[in-house]
Amino acid sequence: MEKHIIEPTNPRRDFLKTAAIGVAIASCGSALCSCNKSNSNSEDQVVLLSPEGELVTVDSSALKAANKSHCVSGEASRKGIPGKKFVMVVDLARCKNAQKCQESCDKNHHTQYPKEYLKVLKMQDNPSASPYWQPTMCFHCDEPPCVKVCPVDATFKRDDGLVLIDNDRCIGCRFCMAACPYSQRVFNWGEPEKIESEITCKSPEKSGVNTTMGTVEKCDFCPDMVREGQMPHCVSACPNGVFYFGDENEDAVSNGEDTVRLSKLLADRAGYRAMEDLGTKPRLYYLPPVNRLFPFEDAAETEEDHSAN
Amino acid sequence: MDINKVQSNEQIEKDLMPRAFGPYGKLWVVFLLFIGGIGLYYYVQQLRHGLVVTGLRDYTTWGIYIANFVFFVAISLVGSLMSAVLKLTNVKWRTPLTRISEMIAVAAIMFAGLIIIVDMGRPDRFLNVIFHARIQSPITWDVIVITTYLFISMLLLYLPLLPDLAIMRDRFKTIPKWQQKMYAFMANNWKGTSEQHKILNKSVMLLSVMIIPVAFGIHTVTSWLFATTLRPGWDSTNFGPYFISGAFMVGAGAVIATMFVFRKFYGLHKYITLDHFDKMGRLLVLLSLVYLYFNVNEYFVPAYKMKGSESAHLKELFTGAYAPLFWSVQIGGMLIPIIVLLFKKGRTPLIMFVISIMVIVGAWFKRFLIVIPTLHHPYFPMDQAPEAWSHYTPTFAEWCITGGSLAGALLIVTFLVRYFPIIPVEETIEEQKGGTNELNIERGYQPQIEKI
Ligand code: SF4
């Protein structure tokens, strides 16, 4: 099991489709593979990994996405996508603070500075170490302190690993904001601006759409996109492939260009989680900023330097 | 009891029974209504526009509402201190102070509940706390213990009132009809038989025992709202006893202040004596010393280590932006009271009144210092947020709402005092007569010897 090989046409889309049918293949095994082999002259084909470890080419039209519905609400939205354990890996060595992730996140979740789900922070581990950029968002912890303290189950943990918020239930006590050591939750202090969107879905899976005064919001790992077989917005927006997203059960993550084995990536690149000692068990890993692709540059500082000169 | 001259029962009744407001009383009520009204006006604004009318923003998500909440909960502990702890330890001089304490307790705990609703982003969804309650959240625990405490405190205020209500029912014939009806209704067929006294004594005793763990519960759980998070400054196992000891201290301060005011304006010098002030002064010193001990634990130990995540927080308190407030509160609200009250000359009414005000104001700002500075030192840097978010300045609206809640609590105390005797009349009579008096039997009030 080295790699999932994916057709170049629309890699992001296909990868997740692969992910979505992973379970299906596992259950029907080689029968599915053979039937699709005979039918492989359509243009949109994907290469999949069979349970035996063989790579097989499959016509994508033969695949059924797990769930195509746009608006999953109620109990279903509290359960999660069956068989999944979503995970994100952020490669700090590639980040140059291009801020495309943030822009795309803001646009698609209808948020606006300073209420943002994704923040790129300037970090420096110690005075001798070189500073680096660190994108942060909700880490969807496996031991989420925010979920523990919520008095009304408005923020909850799903089987697929996601931590989401039901904006129709939240009482706005902000205990979860106090409890989150990563400061990743944002609050609607006033009446949020009416969003111009044709989507009217009231679902915890659509953060930013069902936005209401006096409730919390945060990054949701874009489960609506994932259900459609696409990547979260930040992943597809990043020009440098910083973000890898995938499924831990399948042990595969992709940044849109490369699809790699999660365990190998973390082992080879010394992946770590933020503040491991707090015991929150984040579902987001960082790859340390070593052998960087870009030298560190702080646009704000350079401007200051120019104006000072 | 420490009444120098034996008073006739008529005199006691005349002195202690509630009276209509005098000109000062009326002015006081108008003043409180005014402050409360402004608070209410701004709260309506907050309901319309959201918490954006406050100085709160992401990062500094809790502010003076929560500090005020902790303050109210702290003050409310005084009820259990005076009527339960001192009762069980058989301290006799507490009798004239128990009712004041219970009144403060009931008013404070009611407003603790209200101010927490004021802090909620969605007060309209308050019932979710019941319908969707999750037992693992400290907020749920708080809701449970606070309602329990409110209930027991009300009973502890009401039950010992029964004999006094009966006196008012039987003797007040010139008061308005509704008042007569109210007393009759509340006195609830109290005849003062020894049977009734027995039941009453038993229930009060039982409630006094029950309220102690609940009182510890409310303030410990309140401290856990902070201590169960992972934030430097809050992440402390010392928080429970630290909060409780501070609460008893400010509670004693509140009793002293009220004692002084009522003694002066109601002319109760015969009932609240210098000896009471002396005793309360000693009690306050003791409670402050306990609080000092927990303060040393809370600040000295982490300051000795200066652990990375804690150091920014501690430095801000010791030498940074919050240093002036921090040292004023620690010195003015704790050290000076201890020193002054250690001396006999310091334990005179006026000095003690000033000291108790220092303790109360200090306690309020201490809660501010516990809640807010921690929020300015998250683990991840705040540099992406607007600069203004790294400070917290409560807005005018926020102050008005907070002031309104304080005025509201005082208003409740004021009205309780208007309609009910602040010093237990019947108990005072009984204690004075030592339990055997023909007069009592004549009037149908059975002698009652306190057996504890
Ligand atoms: S603010 Fe909302 S989501 Fe957060 S703890 Fe309170 S009710 Fe739960």
Task: Kindly determine whether residue B51 and residue A151, on different chains, have CB atoms separated by under 8 Å.
Answer: no
Between the CA of A170 and the centroid of ligand 1 the distance, in Å, is: 5
The closest alpha carbon to A265, from A255, A280, A275, belongs to: A255
pLDDT (0 to 100) of residue A50: 58
Q: Is the pLDDT of residue B94 over 90?
A: no
Q: Is the pLDDT of residue B359 over 80?
A: yes
Between the CA of A244 and the centroid of ligand 1 the distance, in Å, is: 29
**Measured between beta carbons, which residues in chain B are less than 8 angstroms from residue A183?**
58-59, 378-380, 382
- Say if residue A237 is in the same domain as residue A175: yes
- DSSP, collapsed to helix, strand or coil, labels residue A49 as strand
pLDDT (0 to 100) of residue A194: 77
pLDDT confidence band for B16 (50 / 70 / 90): confident
- DSSP, collapsed to helix, strand or coil, labels residue A261 as strand
Q: Which of B59, B66, B230, B307 to mutate to test the interface with A (most CBs of A within 10 A)?
A: B230
- Name the amino acid, one letter, at B245: S
Q: Is the pLDDT of residue B445 over 70?
A: no
**Measured between beta carbons, which residues in chain B are less than 8 angstroms from residue A275?**
379
- Name the amino acid, one letter, at B403: G
Question: Which of residues 116 through 155 in chain A touch B, CB cutoff 8 A?
Answer: 116, 119-123, 136, 145, 148-154
Q: Any chain B CB within 8 A of the CB of A170?
A: yes
% of chain B residues with pLDDT over 90 = 73
- Find the CATH number of the domain harbouring A132: 3.30.70.20
Q: Any chain B CB within 8 A of the CB of A186?
A: yes
Q: Give me the tens of pLDDT residue by residue for chain A, a chain 309 residues long.
A: 334 443 344 444 444 444 444 434 333 333 333 334 344 444 566 666 555 556 667 666 555 444 444 688 888 899 999 999 999 999 999 999 999 999 999 999 999 888 999 999 999 999 999 999 999 999 999 999 999 999 999 999 999 999 999 999 999 999 999 999 999 999 999 998 877 666 677 889 988 888 899 999 999 999 999 998 899 999 999 999 999 999 999 999 999 999 999 999 999 999 999 999 999 999 999 999 999 998 888 877 665 555 544
For residue range B129-167, what is the model confidence (pLDDT) as tens digits? 999 999 999 999 999 999 999 999 999 999 999 999 999
The closest alpha carbon to B120, from B216, B54, B193, B175, belongs to: B54
- Say if residue A109 is in the same domain as residue A23: no
- Say if residue A54 is in the same domain as residue A173: no
- DSSP, collapsed to helix, strand or coil, labels residue B414 as helix
* Average confidence (pLDDT) over B217-234: 95
Instruction: Classify the C-alpha dihedral B20-B26-B30-B36 as positive or negative.
Output: negative
pLDDT (0 to 100) of residue B6: 61
Total-model pTM: 0.86
- Say if residue A37 is in the same domain as residue A153: no
Chain A residue at shortest CA distance from B380:
A182
- Say if residue A105 is in the same domain as residue A16: no
What Cα–Cα distance (Å) separates residue A204 from each residue in A23, A80, A172, A196?
24, 11, 15, 19
Between the CA of B72 and the centroid of ligand 1 the distance, in Å, is: 23
Ramachandran assignment for A74, one of left (phi > 0), alpha (psi -120 to 50 degrees), beta (any other):
left
pLDDT confidence band for B100 (50 / 70 / 90): confident
Of B51, B143, B380, the CB nearest to A189: B51
Query: Radius of gyration (Cα) for chain A, nearest Å?
Result: 20
Number of structural domains chain A divides into? 2
Domain housing A55: 11-62
- Say if residue A55 is in the same domain as residue A123: no
pLDDT (0 to 100) of residue B5: 53
Quick check: is A301 in a domain? Answer: no
- Say if residue A187 is in the same domain as residue A50: no
Per DSSP bridges, beta strands A284-287 and A86-91 are parallel
Q: Any chain B CB within 8 A of the CB of A178?
A: yes
- Say if residue A43 is in the same domain as residue A153: no
For residue range B327-353, what is the model confidence (pLDDT) as tens digits? 999 999 999 999 999 999 999 999 999
pLDDT confidence band for B1 (50 / 70 / 90): very low
Q: Is the CB of A152 under 6 A from ligand 1?
A: yes
Between the CA of A150 and the centroid of ligand 1 the distance, in Å, is: 5
The closest alpha carbon to A187, from B124, B67, B385, belongs to: B385
**DSSP one-letter code for A115:** B
Q: Which of B48, B222, B384 to mutate to test the interface with A (most CBs of A within 10 A)?
A: B384
- Say if residue A141 is in the same domain as residue A249: yes
Give φ, ψ of B301 to 5 degrees: -65, -50
Expressed in percent and rounded to 5, the helix, strand and coil fractions of chain A are 30, 15, 55
pLDDT (0 to 100) of residue A89: 97
- Say if residue A199 is in the same domain as residue A133: yes
| Pair of tokens at residue B126 | 């308050």
| Pair of tokens at residue B362 | 């200090």
- Say if residue A200 is in the same domain as residue A97: yes
pLDDT (0 to 100) of residue B192: 86
What whole-number distance in Å separates Cα of residue B214 and Cα of residue B111?
Answer: 18
pLDDT (0 to 100) of residue B413: 94
Q: What is the ipTM, given to two decimal places?
A: 0.89
- Say if residue A125 is in the same domain as residue A22: no
pLDDT (0 to 100) of residue B407: 97
Q: Is the pLDDT of residue B441 over 90?
A: no
Q: Given the CA of residue A175, which atom of ligand 1 is nearest to it?
A: 5
Q: Which residue has the higher pLDDT, B422 or B107?
A: B107
- DSSP, collapsed to helix, strand or coil, labels residue A74 as helix
Quick check: is A306 in a domain? Answer: no
